[in-house]
Structure 1
Amino acid sequence: MKTSDLLSYCMSKPGAEQYVHSDWKATQIKVDDVLFAMVHEVKGRPAVSLKTTPTLADLLREQHRDVSPGEHLNKSHWSTLYLDGTLKDSQIYYLVDASLQQALDTHHPGVNHDR
């Protein structure tokens, strides 16, 4: 997956806003000021960090060598996925959607976030 395709998909979410975190050389994508994706390079490879449940994070890391604990973020809730690895684009898109839902549920519990 190309970084530009991932950014376009993230920015297609209603209310999505893009911020540059210069210290981390990362592009953060937020909805309602809640981070749900961070696009950056890790070890020279294009990557995205996404929020998941700790159970899903463990499962992804066990099943995919291209998924690791989140860079710069809470490692039990955030995983970094390499965009040039073995994950299919459809899997990455699904995890972006799940990350958005997880992030909003965590910061705004009890609110219907169907967008």
Structure 2
Amino acid sequence: MDGTDVQRLAARCAEGLPGTELAHPFGPEWDVHKVRGKVFMLVTEVTGEPMVILKSAPDDAAALRQQYAEITPGYHMNKKHWITLHGGALDEGLVEELVTDSYRLVVEGLPKTRRPMTPAPRGR
């Protein structure tokens, strides 16, 4: 799956999650996916390479970076809490799981009264 495929799949997954919106606060070259006003995914080609930037639990982020060459520290984000997906050996199930996990991490940080209904966790 190339980087553009990863972007399309991630965007499709994000659009299906409750309470999400697409914004462009950093300009047209950045698709910023938010839940209740909080960013959980960024999609861009600003470096010339398609990439998807997601929130991740620190331990998960470190393990993912070790396991997959296509997962690097978050581009222009906190390297401990964000990861960047590039094209390559990433399969659809993993991309969908990582998007959903990013969404869930952000939702868990919202006050309970602002949380949309969240999808059930997917197994790894």
**5+ residue gaps in structure 2?**
120-124
Secondary structure at the aligned position of 2:18 is classed as: coil
More strand by share: 1
Give the TM-score, by structure 2 length. Answer: 0.79
Q: 1:39 aligns with which of 34, 43, 66?
A: 43
- Taking a change above 3 Å as real, the CA distance of residues 92 and 74 of structure 1, as seen in their structure-2 partners, is same
Query: CA deviation digits over 1:42-69, x for unaligned, max 9?
Result: 6422111111111000000001101111
Distance 1:78 1:15 in 2: 21
Partner AA of 1:85 in structure 2: G
**5+ residue gaps in structure 1?**
none
Q: 1:101 aligns with which of 101, 104, 107?
A: 104
- Taking a change above 3 Å as real, the CA distance of residues 24 and 107 of structure 1, as seen in their structure-2 partners, is farther
CA-based RMSD: 2.3
Q: Which residue of the partner structure matches residue 21 of structure 2?
A: 17
4+ residue runs over 3 A deviation? 21-24
Aligned length: 114
Q: 2:94 aligns with which of 88, 91, 95?
A: 91
